[in-house]
Chain A
Amino acid sequence: MIHVRVKAYAELQGYNPEKGEEFTHEVQEGSTIQKLMESLRLPEHRVMLILKNEKKAKEEDSLSDGDAVFFYPVIGGG
């Protein structure tokens, strides 16, 4: 198992309210970001931007121990 640092911005916290905005999460070694999102119950269509270690990332990208993954929600008006 590996550990990644997750930051879920704004309404994305709603899917894991007990965890808050920033937390550490455990996933299988070699997991993709997609697997991480499934594990966190983050719906694909609610995520506008994924940054892995401050660089733009895709759901297919794989994760290593210690990676920082930031999820930003879809917002669009106001």
Chain B
Amino acid sequence: MAFGCNGKILRVNLTTRKISVEEPGEKIYRQYLGGGTLALHYLLNELKPGTDPLGPDNILIFSASVLTGALPAPGMNKYTVAAKSPLSGGLGESEAGGWFAPELKAAGFDAVVIQGKAAKPVYLWVHDGEAEIRDASHLWGKVTGEVQKAVKKELGDERVRIAQIGPAGEKLVKYACIMNELKHFNGRAGLGAVMGSKNLRAIAVRGTKAQEVSDRDKASAILKSVRESYVEDPAGLGCLGTARVAPILSAGGILPTRNFSTGSFEKAEDIGGKRLAETILKGRGTCHGCYIRCKREVEARTPYEISAEYGGPEYETIASIGSLLGVGSLEAISKGNELCAQYGIDTISFGTTVSFAMECYEKGILTSRDTKGLDLHFGNHETMLKLIELVARREGFGDLLAEGAEIAAKRIGRGAEKYALHVKGQPLPMHEPRGKKSLALAYALSPTGADHLENPHDPFFEKEGGMKDIHPLGLLDPLPSLDLSVRKVRMFVYLQQYYNWLNSIGMCIFAAKPFGPFTITHLVEYTRAVTGWDTSLWEAVKVGERYANLARVFNLREGLGEKEDRLPERLHQGLEGGLLKGEKIDPEEFARAREMYYGMMGWDPQSGVPSKYKLEELNVGWTLPLLKS
């Protein structure tokens, strides 16, 4: 077995209460590395197509990687949660950082595969090679902060790390999320609902095993070199957090505002990182091993009581329940962030679903009778806050919104559907494809629906200087952000596989180029030093491609194909205001780009079905019979 891995996958069947350990062998680890790629190996082999995502036969997987926990290293702490998504009916997966994954590795496992459904609420306790299913009836219905405290007390160890859902997951809110240590979220794809449907409230892990590293001196030298190259900006990601992004995007005309109608928000400065730092910032949070410390921790007393135990709003939240809703109060946004964390709701999907409802209300498609008296005009932050609890509890108007914008729009009818901004059921995140055109491909083609982390965004690569970080991929020529030519498609294909590889090794994008200090070359050398494998960037990118192709097969089997690789109509219409007023995604240019993407990936250029040649080349020819079925 390679160094860096435990070589052990924990298998739990909640119906039969059977717990076992699988040892898949080194070649599986080498070809999948971890994350969603490893998860897909199980999902494709064991999950029947057509399975109800909220039924007992769905499979929920928590997957770390061969590099996680080897040495404390910035960004090397992520894990993927994967299952069939209740939002899309296709692949659901989402990454989170924090503390859970290194602890899982220390507990002797590389991943946990959960099947079945418990007869009543339970939590899983995993510790030093062992696992047990424990009663969670006393935890059910409680907010995440209370459960965190209760489980640590019950297990008698403050250092236990806990991944959990909140009450929203228990109520099968379609965009309920999973979090660890209250501040780190597997936000997207409705994975919290899957976990809730299994009556699984939490997974607690504690471990004392150190990973064996093949060449510890070499690995440490690489980390030292990475550390030395990192210079903290006095007003950058570490100091001001992702929160600093809102006013910058607004100036550029690409801050999603009022349901993506426009790109500039008059109150952008009021909700940015500088204002946050000057008012409610209590501290900077971080994840295992990371000195970038990008996370916010906020505290306030008035007008809302906000506790730092849930961290603070990151950019996506500042936009999704801020500018997207016309809300310009940082305090209301921060309170909303805390409530979403307490109840376990994805702030992105919640925001885009509420913005859908607000636009319907503004246009008279929804009335106060429909909303049960709630005023849903843009800007009403009190309504936004009320809706979080209503959605989490599936009460009143919240019950409809708990289904997500796509289904809510179908049920409302009356022309509501054009205001529901989603791809494959997953509501749009807070980046504007009309200003960063590779995102048109990212949103339409991500296997999990609209996803802003498929690739590093266009502005990094507009000038020669910015290309240096991605030279090892063979990308040499800068391109304008508004370009969607064949050259941009090629750039997107290469960068998407780069990010697919990062997800497979549980690496945070903020610690790797272009954001952070790890170069592509560092990462390959670090993999060699930890695992002992004579590996290369070639092999690494092939893992990325493997992910893309396995995910594609999964989705095709579930009936998701080229018809679902589309953008909401609004993105084909011009931005109504801001610096890029009038800019849109041209439908024909998009269609050409999409065809080019399929072809470059080795898929049929019209249908987007992977060719048998491609699947065999990636050594996943075993999926061919699955495509035919």
Contact = CB atoms under 8 A, between A and B. Distances in A.
B459 A74 contact: yes
A35 to B, nearest CB: 17
Nearest to B314: A78
Contacts of B240: 10
Nearest to B237: A11
Interface stretch (A25-33, A42-50, A60-68): A42-50
Contacts of A12: 235
B509 A14 contact: no
A77 B248 contact: no
B237 A45 contact: no
B466 A74 contact: yes
B459 A48 contact: yes
Contacts of B237: 11
B316 A78 contact: yes
A76 B436 contact: yes
Interface string B234-267: 1111001010110111011000000000000000
A78 B245 contact: yes
B456 interface: yes
Nearest to B251: A72
Interface in B464-479: 464-467, 478
B579 A10 contact: no
Contacts, number: 91
Contacts of B458: 76
Contacts of B242: 77-78
Contacts of A72: 248, 251-252
Contact of B235 (A10, A46, A48, A56): A10
B466 A45 contact: yes
A76 B235 contact: no
Contacts of A45: 460, 462-467, 478
A10 B465 contact: no
B247 A13 contact: no
B248 A48 contact: yes
Given A48-B252, A72-B248, A72-B252, A11 B457 contact: no
B245 A75 contact: yes
A74 B460 contact: yes
Given A45-B463, A75-B248, A78-B245, A11 B236 contact: yes
Contacts of A21: 235, 274
Nearest to A11: B236
Q: How large is the interface on A (under 10, 10 to 19, 20 to 34, 35 or more residues)?
A: 20 to 34
B308 to A, nearest CB: 20
B453 interface: yes
Interface string A1-38: 00000000111111001000100000000000000000
Nearest to B242: A78
A77 B457 contact: yes
Of the listed residues B237, B249, B251, the one surrounded by the most CB atoms of chain A closer than 10 A to its CB is B251
Contacts of A10: 233, 235-236, 240, 244, 248, 273-274
Contact of A77 (B236, B247, B251, B452): B452
A49 B247 CA distance: 12
Contacts of A40: none
Of the listed residues A14, A49, A76, the one surrounded by the most CB atoms of chain B closer than 10 A to its CB is A76
B242 to A, nearest CB: 3
B234 A73 contact: no
A58 B415 CA distance: 42
A5 to B, nearest CB: 16
Contact of A9 (B231, B247, B466, B467): B247
Nearest to A76: B457
B460 A11 contact: no
B465 A77 contact: no
Contacts of A51: 251
B547 to A, nearest CB: 19
Nearest to B468: A45
A15 B431 CA distance: 27
Of the listed residues A14, A17, A75, the one surrounded by the most CB atoms of chain B closer than 10 A to its CB is A75
Contacts of B397: none
Contacts of B304: none
B456 A49 contact: no
Nearest to A49: B252
A10 to B, nearest CB: 5
B248 A9 contact: yes
A14 B315 contact: no
B515 interface: yes
B427 to A, nearest CB: 17
23 contacts: A9-B244, A9-B247, A9-B248, A9-B251, A11-B236, A14-B231, A14-B233, A43-B465, A44-B465, A45-B462, A45-B464, A45-B478, A74-B460, A74-B462, A75-B248, A75-B459, A76-B431, A76-B456, A76-B458, A76-B514, A77-B510, A78-B242, A78-B510
- Lowest 7 CB-CB distances: which A-B pairs, in order? A45-B465, A76-B457, A78-B242, A11-B236, A45-B463, A45-B466, A14-B233
